[in-house]
Amino acid sequence: MISDWRPDDPAFWRATGRRVARRNLVFSILAEHLGFTVWTVWSVVAAQLGAYDFSTDQLFWLVALPNLVGSALRLPYTFGPARFGGRDYTVFSALLLLIPALALGWAVGSPDTPYWVFLLIAATAGFGGGNFASSMANITHFYPQSRQGAALGLNAAGGNIGVSSVQLVVPLVIGAFGLAAAGWFWVPFIVVAAGCAWLFMDNLATAKASPREQLAVAGNGQTWLMSFLYIGTFGSFIGYSTAFPLLAKSLFPGSAWQTVAFLGPLLGSLVRPAGGWLADRLGGARVTLWNFAAMAGGVALVWLAVGSGDFWLFALAFQALFVTAGLGNGSTYRMVPAIFGALAAASGRSPEYGRRQAAAAVGIISAVGAFGGFLINRAFGMSFAAGGSPAAAFLAFGLFYAACFATTWWCYARPVGAARLAHARV
């Protein structure tokens, strides 16, 4: 347990803080990466369940359910590091991933496994979705205000790349060892991640906070405004990442979707730190505002590509959605500590209080945002069930991005909105 932690003190940061923070960040990323792989493994498995007589809508349920459970778990997971310590909770949350990994390997080993069992096991994959909230809430405490955009961007990107890892590795693993290996493969990595967290991460005494203090952010309107925007950014990233394999297979039967499914999540993950970096320099509100405009344009590009009937054009156009979602993830997350830091300063509170409030808000924001992944997959499923195409879903996405653009401008980008946050560069 580290009791003396002052990241905003330049001398302390240079002498001790930077080294300790970097070490915790590295092993936080490892554990979070495994969380994302387990959380999104059903995006590939569902597209490989040809031996089972499931409809397209049923398959989209298997992809959507982990997103629903993961988003719900993010709220209690946020309180874990402050209650039990960042290191201890990282170990616990990593070991929980063994349940969905082992259960998946068991379920697909029998052709008689009923659909409801698949639904139950897919739901347990939501444990991996909760890891993001605890990881981000923990890392928030390790870095000074001026470096949080890059640090949170790197931490999140390392986790997000887990989606790409699944979609690159799992088709190869299934081809070599069978469908059950989609679950068994991750078991030794999960054990290693938990062991590294125990050996190399730290608990911070200054990060301790009561659940009542943390839940106070639920009464702050800024928490819910940012939750809405995060549905548009992270919800889009996780929703498109998990939907793409099944969507591509449904629209273009026989296409080589396995060869490119990993690319979009990889690009979206890699540009996430760039979104945080841009927000550090240009302001999160400005970057987020124009990013939503680009996302609306990306939806139009994808729909035009669907109409062309060309799979490769469709796959290429989809990359615009992944890249803009990734940039938006970084910029919106950078806004959170800036907003709550400004509110703390305006009320005469300490920077550490602002960090604790931001860490608590991250949990609510990430929980609501992850729910967007469920909504996107259900939108595709219902759109196919009703009309045999994703047209209605894409229209809804475009309208939602327009609403996010308007909200960002009204609340943060225009001068009056920024002034309400004590002139903070949000």
pLDDT digits (tens, 9 = 90+) for 203-229: 998 776 666 766 778 888 889 999 999
pLDDT of residue 156: 79
> Using CA atoms, how far apart are residues 320 and 317, in angstroms rounded to an integer?
6
Whether the per-residue pLDDT at 425 is higher than 50: the answer is no
Neighbours of 54 (CB within 10 A): 16
> Using CA atoms, how far apart are residues 221 and 224, in angstroms rounded to an integer?
5
**pLDDT tens, residue by residue, 5-62:** 988 888 999 999 899 999 999 999 999 999 999 999 999 999 888 778 898 899 999 9
Q: Is 409 exposed, middle or buried (0-12, 13-18, 19+ CB in 10 A)?
A: middle
pLDDT of residue 166: 92
**pLDDT tens, residue by residue, 101-154:** 999 999 988 788 899 999 999 999 999 998 888 898 888 889 887 787 678 778
Higher pLDDT, 414 or 209: 414
Residue range 406-420: mean pLDDT, rounded:
76
Place of tokens 């298997």: 62
User: Helix-strand-coil percent breakdown of the chain, rounded to 5?
Assistant: 85, 0, 15
% of the chain at pLDDT higher than 90: 55
Residue 417 pLDDT grade (very low, low, confident, very high; cuts 50, 70, 90): low
% of the chain at pLDDT higher than 70: 96
CB 94, CB 189: distance < 8 Å: no
pLDDT of residue 420: 52
Whether the per-residue pLDDT at 318 is higher than 90: the answer is yes
**pLDDT tens, residue by residue, 60-86:** 999 999 999 998 998 888 888 888 999
pLDDT of residue 214: 64
Query: Lowest-confidence range among 66-70, 153-157, 420-424?
Result: 420-424
